[in-house]
Structure 1
Amino acid sequence: GLLLLSEVLCVQIKCFQEIITIGYSVYHSYHLPWFRTLSWYFLLCVNYFFYGETVTDYFFTLVQREEPLRILSKYHRFISFALYLTGFCMFVLSLVKKHYRLQFYMFGWTHVTLLIVVTQSHLIIHNLFEGMIWFIVPISCVICNDIMAYMFGFFFGRTPLIKLSPKKTWEGFIGGFFSTIVFGIMLSYVMAGYRYFVCPVEFNNDSNSFQVDCEPSDLFQLQDYALPRSLYSLLSPQTTVHLYPFQIHSIALSSFASIVGPFGGFFASGFKRAFKIKDFANTIPGHGGIMDRFDCQYLMATFVNVYIASFIRGPNPSKVIQQLLALRADQQLHIFNSLKAHLTEKGLLPALEEATA
């Protein structure tokens, strides 16, 4: 998990560097003061803010146990804002009369790049902490769709899909869609059976370490699903099928990777055409830069994060308990009495007391 986290950070930094370099190279003759320095400083500030929020949210127990971390967590947003304001003031002080418009243009360029690259990579990390299956399956679906769309387009492609990418065809688009759906279902079936892939990353106080171990939720438990009646004659006497509920969700992930995901690539193609460049960089021989490989992945990461928040994630009892334990004793007692009164009113507490007795 920590290895993947490091890889995400490295990819983010490289993608940021590639996009910023394009902006710098277009206007390199102007010798803009402090442009690159401020760009990297803002990257540091935004990463400090996002990573601090993530650590506080997912590893609250560890943060509260260590005094330096607890102080940093308490004043995290103030520190982040102060760091950003420092960069803002540095930018204002660096303004040169003959380059005002250009400097503000590059200031906006840096912030849009931060929005696209850093925010999206932050969402990837959130997906990773929910369980590696939420990280690996979506990324694999995008890769599968890219490969299969190319294969179908190469052998059967006749009808152009979009002017921004002349080599893209409807045949490749449709072939990639169905191939990715099948691939997503199969990969999900394999991964859903392993706790290492489905359990979220948590900090264990007893072992004083990060661990990936839990009782898998219903999402990763095999269940029987009734087949449509139209398939009875083909599969008789089989009327049900064993599936993980996650496999049903994988269809939504695969569909997005196949239908909407490619538009991230089209967007990148339009961007490169606007600046008359073939690739973002030459990091990977024959493939361009890292951003050329991840143009669809960032859009996919945002969808997965929104999908989890909208359809999967519910209230987390362990997080609620952690927050309660961080309160003062009188506050904990007040919440206890309020909860006791609520359960008594609902008729749940007597039942619990009888069961205990």
Structure 2
Amino acid sequence: MAFTPVLCLPCVCVCVCVCSKGSDSGLKADKDGVSEESKVDSGVPEVPVPPDDTPEVLNKALSGLSSRWKNWWVRGILTLAMISFFFFIIYLGPMVLMMIVLCVQIKCFHEIITIGYNVYHSYELPWFRTLSWYFLLCVNYFFYGETVTDYFFTLVQREEPLRILSKYHRFISFALYLTGFCMFVLSLVKKHYRLQFYMFGWTHVTLLIVVTQSHLIIHNLFEGMIWFIVPISCVICNDIMAYMFGFFFGRTPLIKVSSRTSELSYVMAGYRYFVCPVEFNNDSNRFQVDCEPSELFQLQEYTLPGVLESVTGWTTVRLYPFQIHSIALSSFASIVGPFGGFFASGFKRAFKIKDFANTIPGHGGIMDRFDCQYIMATFVNVYIASFIRGPNPSKVVQQLLALRSDQQLYIFNSLKAHLTEKGLLRAAEAAA
């Protein structure tokens, strides 16, 4: 008896919520009324608290509620709005998604850099903001140039300006960064050496955390939108459940079985729009999402172990192999992913701020919503490289076509000799 699960096999998402009543209730005051953290970090300037930017319409509508329930409704309404926007950009396609990822990256970088600027604004460091944004430009130029060359090799080789930029891409990237490095050295002021080098490190760590990991999100998108949507959905579900249980149960740590990632994976795996890599079509001169789905997204029949067979009564089940991989994704999102949030919370506590910014009423800044997403994107990229992605013959052919004729002939003869030695070429000719 075979069974095709559509609303079965829910993936276990462990939703660990360590919440507190109040922003700093976890800090215990000593007998003099000063927290231990204040003693340790007494020399760290505090970042100014941003004003409340909740829309006036919501303020009037929720004016009769306590601040706790007001925040609940504001967060809820904005969450629904963000989820609706998320579905809308998915409908617009992968290229729009990539532009949104770039915009999110820039905003997250701005929020973290602004914290550094606000903390040490009184020192009026020369060129700090200008150099920070310049380094952001350099790093993005390097990463996106590598991506364009890798995924759109045919388009790059066809256009002369792009071919030149691709050929000397790394040298140009290094020259741009070296220019910024020299500008930083020239901007050093004797009485602020330590502080300037501190902010130089601040900028580069921010680039490492934000730009590098957001670039991995782009790589995941190129493998198919399902590798973007499912991991993000896992983190969103985990965050929502963490907030829900934290709101109603205070500081009680909970382990909650939630989310139906397997069902989401089942539905999406049946559509080429979600599972096909993003490719450039030379004939139509357009980016397309169309392919013959790989075995990963084709239904397979699996025999259940004897224990599960006795419990469920099924001898076999039909699943997409991707559903099995989704278990690993959801497990990471709920067990390890929250540590990205814990890291961000520690960072904010170090500077005595509640949120990175007040971009989204009730939620804080963009970085407050993406602290777990970045570490999740890194895991997905490593997971794909380790267990999913194999050699891509089409990319090899594209690169071969870009070689000189004598180089192509050399490779042809070498490959012919290798296949003949293994007996494959003769067998192929006999079959023809």
Normalised by the length of structure 1, the TM-score is 0.90
Higher helix share: 1
Superimposed CA distance per residue, residues 273-329 of structure 1 (whole angstroms, 9 cap, x where no aligned partner): 000101000000111000000000000000000000000000000000011111111
1:170 is aligned to none
Distance 1:255 1:22 in 2: 33
CA contact (8 A) 2:227 2:380 kept: yes
CA contact (8 A) 2:246 2:252 kept: no
Superimposed CA distance per residue, residues 116-163 of structure 1 (whole angstroms, 9 cap, x where no aligned partner): 000001000000011000001000000011112333445567644899
Superimposed CA distance per residue, residues 213-248 of structure 1 (whole angstroms, 9 cap, x where no aligned partner): 000000000000111211223x66521111000000
Match of 1:189 among 266, 275, 286: 266
The alpha carbon displacement at 1:191 in A equals: 0.4
2:279 is aligned to 202
CA contact (8 A) 2:298 2:320 kept: yes
Superimposed CA distance per residue, residues 16-58 of structure 1 (whole angstroms, 9 cap, x where no aligned partner): 0000000010100000000000000000000000000000000
Q: Which runs of 5+ in 2 are unaligned?
A: 1-94, 258-263
Cα 1:30–1:310 shift into 2, 3 Å: same
Cα 1:158–1:226 shift into 2, 3 Å: farther
Distance 1:311 1:231 in 2: 26
The alpha carbon displacement at 1:190 in A equals: 0.7
Q: Secondary structure at the match of 1:295?
A: helix
CA contact (8 A) 2:332 2:376 kept: yes
Q: Does 1:97 align with 2:190?
A: yes
Alignment coverage as a number of residue pairs: 331
Instruction: Report 1 or 2 for greater relative contact order, CA contacts < 8 Å, sequence distance ≥ 6.
Output: 2
Cα 1:162–1:275 shift into 2, 3 Å: farther
Distance 1:27 1:223 in 2: 59
Cα 1:74–1:298 shift into 2, 3 Å: same
Distance 1:162 1:85 in 2: 49
Cα 1:21–1:236 shift into 2, 3 Å: closer
**More displaced, 145-154 or 194-203?**
145-154
CA contact (8 A) 2:348 2:355 kept: yes
Q: Secondary structure at the match of 2:254?
A: strand
Q: Secondary structure at the match of 1:216?
A: coil
The alpha carbon displacement at 1:344 in A equals: 1.0
Distance 1:97 1:154 in 2: 50
Q: Secondary structure at the match of 1:203?
A: strand
Match of 2:320 among 218, 239, 244: 244
Q: Does 1:277 align with 2:353?
A: yes
Distance 2:212 2:256 in 1: 29
